[in-house]
């Protein structure tokens, strides 16, 4: 059932958003490094790799520069138009193509690079591989301001690997165990709210059985008992 909605909504969105996407593609071609899309191998359903599409917002060689696959606030690798596209999440829109193709769903665990996926606890990895990764999901909503969070930490790589990813893995595993059409549409609604409003939302008031964040993350995630 999820796949039917994915095909229908992604097809409609590609048509509706074309007046926005086409001018953006032109602007990206004539600015920055002249690249329109950034593609990267991500871990998908059943552990198979697929090419994920984004609008190019960073230097071509950014995975081999600075903090690698971890992006922080005001990252010097971000191109002139990149900040606007990243803050508004418009840079993620090309993934609608991934959804239409069947690589992804609108809602699911966020697709990771192999380096980041391998940091998940093994139990979470096995759960996440059951479903298609998502354009958004419970992990994406809760970690809406992840770049700001990483920027404030003195050792972002260690914080990401030892604190962020284990908890994010628990969230994604929770989604796989509880997925339903109701939660699918509920998370779409929360995603729209997160994009439109900058204030973080206490999702634990909606999903009572959601894993609680570790102490190191509570202050970053607007967690309230």
pLDDT digits (tens, 9 = 90+) for 18-45: 999 999 899 888 877 778 898 999 999 9
Q: Which domain holds residue 145?
A: 2-218
- Determine the pLDDT at residue 151: 67
63 has pLDDT over 80: no
Query: For residue 64, what pLDDT band results from cuts at 50, 70 and 90?
Result: low
- Residue 202 has a CB neighbour count (10 Å cut-off) of 12
Task: Collapse the DSSP code of 134 into the 3-class scheme (helix H, G, I; strand E, B; otherwise coil) and give the result.
Answer: strand
Residue 141 inside a domain? The answer is yes
Strands, E assignment, 31-133: 37-43, 49-55, 105-107
Residue 138 inside a domain? The answer is yes
**Of 86, 218, 109, 216, which Cα lies nearest the Cα of 161?**
216
Task: Collapse the DSSP code of 51 into the 3-class scheme (helix H, G, I; strand E, B; otherwise coil) and give the result.
Answer: strand
Query: For residue 137, what pLDDT band results from cuts at 50, 70 and 90?
Result: very high
80 has pLDDT over 90: no
- Determine the pLDDT at residue 132: 97
Residue 223 inside a domain? The answer is no
223 has pLDDT over 90: no
**Of 88, 106, 109, 85, which Cα lies nearest the Cα of 11?**
106
65 has pLDDT over 70: no
Q: Phi and psi at residue 124, in whole multiples of 5°?
A: -70, -40
Residue 224 inside a domain? The answer is no
Residue 225 inside a domain? The answer is no
- Total domains present in the chain: 1
Element (H, E) at 136: strand 134-136
- Determine the pLDDT at residue 152: 67
Place of tokens 């991934």: 98
Which residues sit opposite 43 in a β-bridge? 49
Task: Confirm if 150 and 71 have CB atoms less than 8 A apart.
Answer: yes
148 has pLDDT over 60: yes
3-class SS shares of the chain: helix, strand, coil, % to 5: 55, 10, 35
Residue 21 inside a domain? The answer is yes
Angle between the N-to-C axes of helices 18-30 and 2-16, in degrees from 0 to 180, rounded to the nearest 10: 70
Q: What is the mean pLDDT of the chain?
A: 87
């Amino acid at each position: 059932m999820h796949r039917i909605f994915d095909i229908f909504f992604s097809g409609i969105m590609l048509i509706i958003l074309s007046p926005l996407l086409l001018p953006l593609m032109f602007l990206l071609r004539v600015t920055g490094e002249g690249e329109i899309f950034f593609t990267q191998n991500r871990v998908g359903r059943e552990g198979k790799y697929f090419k994920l599409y984004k609008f190019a917002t960073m230097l071509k060689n950014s995975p081999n520069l600075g903090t690698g696959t971890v992006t922080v606030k005001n990252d010097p690798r971000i191109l002139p138009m990149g900040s606007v596209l990243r803050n508004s999440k418009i840079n993620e829109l090309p993934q609608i193509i991934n959804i239409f193709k069947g690589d992804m769903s609108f809602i699911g665990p966020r697709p990771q690079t192999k380096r980041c996926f391998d940091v998940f606890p093994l139990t979470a990895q096995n759960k996440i591989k059951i479903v298609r990764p998502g354009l958004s999901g419970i992990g994406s909503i809760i970690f809406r301001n992840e770049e700001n969070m990483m920027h404030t930490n003195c050792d972002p790589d260690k914080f990401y690997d030892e604190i962020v990813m284990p908890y994010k893995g628990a969230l994604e595993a929770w989604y796989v165990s509880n997925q339903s059409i109701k939660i699918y549409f509920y998370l779409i609604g929360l995603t729209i709210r997160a994009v439109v409003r900058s204030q973080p939302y206490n999702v634990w008031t909606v999903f009572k059985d959601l894993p609680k964040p570790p102490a190191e993350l509570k202050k970053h995630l607007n967690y309230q008992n």
